[in-house]
Amino acid sequence: MISRISINHKLEKLREYTGYLRSYQKHSVTEIQQDYTLQGALLHYLQLSIESVLDTAELVISEKKLRKPQEAREALSILGEQHILPEDFAAKLMPMASFRNILVHEYAEVDLARVHHFLQHNLTDFDTYAKHIAAFLIHDERLS
């Protein structure tokens, strides 16, 4: 039960962060590249959004007592294998885990043009993820 509450809390935070990210969609790549405050806020909320996805994935795995992932991206794969997420959608999300590592550990230079593209074209992936997890929680509750 505690995991279910934690999952719902994380989904609420994901919706909040996604809302903040939507407010940055009006900015051009050039504006993002030139405004370090904007850049920092955008990357911060993107990181928090990705972490919310990965955290909820791991909480679902724990709640369902599924096999433990060896790395963060594998958590999304497991949700696909278990049909909690559509497998193709889980595969689409898996690179987020690697990107989160770049954001946190600065393994590589962040390509702000790619971030801008994601912001314009893939931000709804967070919404879709949240809907799948919320639907799973409702369905799973009925089974209990």
Cβ-Cβ contacts under 8 Å for 37 (sequence gap 6 or more): none
Q: Report pLDDT for 139.
A: 87
Cα first-last separation, the chain? 11
Looking at residue 144, its pLDDT comes to 46
pLDDT at 142: 55
Cβ atoms of 76 and 85 within 8 Å: the answer is yes
User: The domain 1-142 belongs to what CATH superfamily?
Assistant: bsu32300-like (1.20.120.580)
Q: What is the pLDDT of residues 106-138, one digit of tens each?
A: 767 899 999 999 999 999 999 999 999 999 999
State pTM to two decimals: 0.92
Q: Which ranges constitute the DSSP H helices of 26-144?
A: 29-34, 36-64, 72-81, 87-93, 95-105, 112-121, 124-143
pLDDT tens per residue across span 13-61: 999 999 999 999 999 999 999 999 999 999 999 999 999 999 999 999 9
